[in-house]
Homo-oligomer: A and B are copies of this chain.
Amino acid sequence: MELQEAKDKFIQAWGTFGSQWGINRTMTQIHALLLVSAAPLSADDIMEQLQISRGNVNMNVRDLIDWGLVYKVLKPGERREFFSAEKDIWKVFRQVVKQRRKRELEPVFGILEEVLKVQGDPKDPEYKAFVEPVRDIQKIASRADSTLETLTKADENWFFTMLVKLFK
């Protein structure tokens, strides 16, 4: 397989994967492209390689920067901006977990807490049918959440140490 073909396949796969998990396909494709590019790319480079418009590149690159996955790179003597992706995959992984936790998990916790304030007779089957599963979700979710938090604060070494410890 040619390098270019392999790149294209990877970018395509990453895009599909991202969109299955609720992330804009183009955003993940740009991320994939930058990730496997040896040098930083300009907006025009990205437009050309992915065959997308300038506005699209601009929006999605900005989102990637907000996510902390892509950096602006200024080349001396160049007026244009260039972009480069974070190459440390462990850092990327941690960053994504951190962001989604903040953006999507935290609001859910708030709502679980809120709806559990519901009034009712603990003997009422309707009441129990609501409160019990919601409490269970809260319990398991906050466990998972603190695991994720620990994960985002840990370094790679810690993570693998943990895995070894777990599965020995």
Residue of B nearest to A11 (CB): B115
Chain copies in the assembled complex? 2
Question: Are A111 and B9 neighbours in the complex by a CB distance under 8 Å?
Answer: yes
Complex contacts, A36 vs chain B, CB 8 Å: 129-130, 133-134
Main secondary structure of the interface of A (DSSP, over half): helix
Question: Are A38 and B126 neighbours in the complex by a CB distance under 8 Å?
Answer: yes
Residue of B nearest to A156 (CB): B140
Q: Give the residue of B104, B118, B165 whose beta carbon is less than 8 angstroms from that of A1.
A: B118
A: number of interface residues (CB 8 Å): 56
A37 at the interface (CB under 8 A from B): yes
Q: Give the residue of B22, B38, B130, B166 whose beta carbon is less than 8 angstroms from that of A3.
A: B130
Return the CB mask of A31-72 against B: 1 if under 8 Å, else 0: 000011110000000000000000000000000000000000
Known: A17-B104, A17-B108, A89-B133. 18 other contacts (CB 8 A): A1-B119, A3-B119, A3-B126, A9-B114, A9-B115, A10-B111, A13-B108, A13-B111, A19-B22, A20-B22, A35-B133, A87-B132, A87-B133, A90-B136, A143-B160, A147-B163, A147-B166, A150-B167
Which A positions have Cβ atoms within 8 angstroms of B?
A: 1-3, 5-7, 9-10, 13, 17, 19-22, 35-38, 87, 89-90, 93, 104, 107-108, 111-112, 114-120, 125-130, 132-134, 136-137, 140, 143, 146-147, 150, 160, 162-163, 165-167
